[in-house]
Amino acid sequence: MTNGWSPSQALEPVRTYRDFTAGQSLAAKARGLARAAALRALSLGRSPGAAGSDRGGWIRFPFYHHVFDDERKDFGRQLDFMAGLGDFIGLDDAVATLAAGDPIDGRYFCITFDDGFKNGHTNAMPVLLDKKAPAAFFLVTGHVGASLQDDRERLLGFYDSGDLLIEFLDWDDCREMASAGMTFGSHTVNHVHLADLGEAGVEAELKESKQAIETELGRACDHFCCPFGRQGIDFLASRDPGIARRAGYKSFLSAHRGAMTQGGSEMMVKRDHLLAGWGNYQLRYFFS
């Protein structure tokens, strides 16, 4: 072909989880099925919501990346499952509760989303509003408003496979969501591994993303979520939460599982990664 055409230009944005996983190897799919079967067996007899009961109440922070078109119904089912175990709480209130250090008076779920995909607006938000569940969305500010045409190659590079075209929120989406009660936080400018950066680089990623969100949305950006989120691999616990605090953030969220109980630090928040299509037995296992 002429005019610089490449196969990637024929790709359409991913709309379904089926398409998102279409490129998985048979071995990867087999591992996924085996893992699901194991979790189903392990979930039997588990008591969801029991974690932290010896120290009073708790706050759990389930986090998602996407709610594709074919995940929307199951996402609603998952929120119903959580509502049967506790109450929903917004991120500002959850962080304030942890910072106060007082006993937590119940069981709470604080829903969060990483990366800032477009389907957070088109699919997740309507379900969240219907279920009266507030949520926080962590933006990779360098990708907000990225064009499917002009920024196509950069968007394809977001995943290592290089063949998944994901559409991101734009600032108008974010403003509409904020007006509807959603919270926005930083997920850096460029979705980087903080552990690979020097202190000045981490500071720049946190400050520049914070400023962009505050400028565009006209409200404070108080919360930071670390990309990838693994202590000692993706961020340095001895350094990065402190940089976030000095940059003006009130919280630092990781990707380590578990419930937050009284005495847990708002600058080292544990979260439970979920896929919107998972069955209730998987939630039962991870919330036990």
Instruction: For 207-237, write each residue's pLDDT tens digit.
Output: 999 999 999 999 999 999 999 999 999 999 9
Burial of 10 by CB count in 10 Å (0-12 exposed, 13-18 middle, 19+ buried)?
Answer: exposed
Say which CATH architecture domain 56-286 belongs to.
Alpha-Beta Barrel (3.20)
pLDDT band at 88 (very low <50, low <70, confident <90, very high): very high
pLDDT in the model for residue 1 = 33
Q: Which of 26-40, 79-93, 167-181, 211-225 has the lowest mean pLDDT?
A: 26-40
Long-range contacts at 192-200 (CB < 8 A, ≥ 24 apart): 192/227, 193/227, 193/228, 193/233, 193/234, 193/235, 194/226, 194/227, 194/234, 194/235, 194/236, 194/240, 195/232, 195/233, 195/234, 195/235, 195/236, 199/239, 199/243
pLDDT in the model for residue 198 = 99
pLDDT in the model for residue 54 = 54
Rounded percentage of the chain residues whose pLDDT exceeds 70: 94
pLDDT band at 202 (very low <50, low <70, confident <90, very high): very high
pLDDT in the model for residue 78 = 99
pLDDT digits (tens, 9 = 90+) for 169-182: 999 999 999 999 99
Which whole number is the average pLDDT over 57-86?
A: 98
User: Across the chain, what does the average pLDDT equal?
Assistant: 94
pLDDT digits (tens, 9 = 90+) for 233-242: 999 999 999 9
pLDDT band at 3 (very low <50, low <70, confident <90, very high): very low
pLDDT in the model for residue 50 = 61
pLDDT band at 161 (very low <50, low <70, confident <90, very high): confident
pLDDT digits (tens, 9 = 90+) for 117-142: 999 999 999 999 999 999 999 999 99
10 pLDDT above the threshold of 90 = no
Q: How far is CA 3 from CA 8, 9, 77, in A?
A: 14, 12, 48
Q: Which of 23-32, 47-56, 179-188 has the lowest mean pLDDT?
A: 47-56
Question: Between residues 47 and 213, which one has the greater pLDDT?
Answer: 213
272 pLDDT above the threshold of 70 = yes
Burial of 55 by CB count in 10 Å (0-12 exposed, 13-18 middle, 19+ buried)?
Answer: middle
Domain spans of the chain, in order of start = 56-286
259 pLDDT above the threshold of 50 = yes
pLDDT band at 201 (very low <50, low <70, confident <90, very high): very high
